[in-house]
Amino acid sequence: MRKVAIFTMLVFLSAFAVAPMAWSADTIKVGFNIPLTGDIPKVGECSKYAAEIRIAEINGAGGLKVGDKTYKLQFIYEDNESKAESATSTALKLITQDQVLAIIGPQSSKQAIPAGEVCNASKTPMISPWSTNPKTTENRPYVFRACFLDPFQGPVVAKFASEEFQAKKAAVLYDIASDYPKGLAEFFKEAFEKMNGPGSVVAFETFTTKDKDFSAQLTKITKSGADVLFTPQYYDEVPLIVKQARELGWNKPILGSDSWGSAELMNLCGDGCKGYYFSTHYAAAGAKGATKDFIDKYTKKYNYVPDDVAALTWDAINLLCEAIKNTGGLTGNIDKDRDAVKDKLTQIKDFDGITGKMTFSPGGNPTKCAVIVKISDKGEFEFFKSVCP
């Protein structure tokens, strides 16, 4: 009798040891590696709220149909305290202990870069909704993102300038001592000159961080005959540039990048910035279609307008669901399923996200459209159009 008991126990134990290879038949577990506490708890909150809405919808409709079987979704939210080291341990916990199929998050590049390493090494697909640093996905076949990369906005704005304003000549003013504006300015120049011929960027002017007076550069720009001015600067420099440009007689469009998109911009710029444009991930004001639906659902439930993190998290969840569906059926072997999901993620084409259409390639970065925002006369960041590279 005893022997039988021991034998049964051994069987159970070995089954337990093997258990990680198999998993509960009809739920799909997805991990969220998000900052619920720490420096940016709001980011974690937005991600969680967006996920809560989405999971309620999917499970409310019966679940996710993969092949001929319908699965319920289960989301596991883990806090990475907005720290790089916690992000890696959280990722490990989700992969080994919770046995999730895939991970969404971390949001900021600071945590997404180290967590991406862990996920890639453990061969678990990870989608960072918000991390724009190229390093997050570099040489990591299992790591993806739902947003565009920093340098990507340059070509987008160049295209917008050419199409919207029929600009044949452009001017650029940027801070040469700061990586982000410098990268963007160079990518803009390259793209604009490809479209309008060499030398079409007639003024490529620089300054250094903390400069307040741009009059010499702006004089050159104003007299250069450029049709648009692109200045990928931060919200504390934009008001000075815009004001001085106007005083020197510049009355053509000024374009910016997502670094403009801070609520502080309008406090500092007042009326000066109204009527100008910048590229970004998503715009809440003036949104249409699915984007508007999402904003309405979110606002109704949580009483505030969701920001870009929430929208990108929403897209990341849908991307993952799409990839799971495309596998055509899960085997139940988690390693194989993780691999299948990764393969399907790289093959996603023309995915209609609320932050734009996305197409993936093996690099892990989507080719997607950016949103051009116009600063309205009321000082709101209003959706103007979506521009694809």
Partner 1 sequence: MSFEIFFQNLLNALQWGSFYALIALGYTMVYGVLLLINFAHGDIFMVGAYIGFFFATLLMGKYAGFSTGLPPAVIFGLTVLVTMVLTAGVGVAIERIAYRPLRRKGASRLYVVITALMCGLILENGNLALLGASRRNFPELLPNTVHNIAGVTFSNVKILVIVTTILVFILLETIVRKTKLGMAMRAISYDRMAVPLMGIPVDTVIVFTFILGSSMAALAGVLFATAYPVLEPYMGALVGWKAFIAAVLGGIGEIRGAFVGGFLLGFVEIFVAALFPSTLRDLIAFSILLVFLSIKPTGIFGIARATKI
Q: Regarding beta strands 143-145 and 126-128, do their DSSP bridges make them parallel or antiparallel, or are they unpaired?
A: parallel
Cβ nearer to partner 1, comparing 174 with 282 = 174
- The residue count of the chain comes to 389
Judged on CB neighbours under 10 Å (0-12, 13-18, 19+), 182 is: middle
Write out the two tokens for 367: 């080719």
Q: Regarding beta strands 170-175 and 143-145, do their DSSP bridges make them parallel or antiparallel, or are they unpaired?
A: unpaired
Write out the two tokens for 12: 């159970």
Write the Ramachandran bin of 82: left for phi over 0, alpha for psi from -120 to 50, otherwise beta: left
Closest by alpha carbon to 330, among 51, 15, 29, 93?
Answer: 29
Q: How far is the CB of 109 from partner 1 (least distance, A)?
A: 22
Rounded CA-CA distance 26/124 in Å is 20
Cβ nearer to partner 1, comparing 42 with 223 = 223
Cβ nearer to partner 1, comparing 343 with 380 = 380
3-state secondary structure of 302: helix
Q: How far is the CB of 221 from partner 1 (least distance, A)?
A: 11
Q: How far is the CB of 216 from partner 1 (least distance, A)?
A: 4
Q: How far is the CB of 275 from partner 1 (least distance, A)?
A: 16
Q: State CA 357 to chain mean position distance.
A: 12
Q: How far is the CB of 282 from partner 1 (least distance, A)?
A: 25
Q: How far is the CB of 239 from partner 1 (least distance, A)?
A: 6
Q: How far is the CB of 268 from partner 1 (least distance, A)?
A: 4
Q: Regarding beta strands 126-128 and 102-104, do their DSSP bridges make them parallel or antiparallel, or are they unpaired?
A: parallel
Cβ nearer to partner 1, comparing 164 with 380 = 380
Q: How far is the CB of 173 from partner 1 (least distance, A)?
A: 9
Cβ nearer to partner 1, comparing 93 with 246 = 246
Cβ nearer to partner 1, comparing 216 with 290 = 216
Cβ nearer to partner 1, comparing 264 with 335 = 264
Q: Are 106 and 33 in contact (CB under 8 A)?
A: yes
Cβ nearer to partner 1, comparing 239 with 366 = 239
Q: Check the CA dihedral 217-222-225-228 and report its sign.
A: positive
Q: How far is the CB of 247 from partner 1 (least distance, A)?
A: 4
Give the Cβ contact number of residue 20 at 10 Å. 12
Q: How far is the CB of 183 from partner 1 (least distance, A)?
A: 16
Cβ nearer to partner 1, comparing 139 with 208 = 208
Q: Are 286 and 259 in contact (CB under 8 A)?
A: no
Cβ nearer to partner 1, comparing 15 with 177 = 177
- Give the residues lining the site for partner 1 (CB under 8 A): 176, 205-208, 210, 212-213, 215-217, 219-220, 222-223, 236-237, 239-240, 243-244, 246-249, 264, 267-270
**Whether residue 239 has a cis bond before it, omega within 30° of 0:** no
Helices 84-92 and 109-121, interaxial angle, to 10°?
Answer: 30
Closest by alpha carbon to 258, among 373, 352, 131, 140?
Answer: 373
Exposure class string for 239-267: b at 16+ Cβ within 10 A, else e: bbbbebbeebebeebbbbbbbbbeeebbe
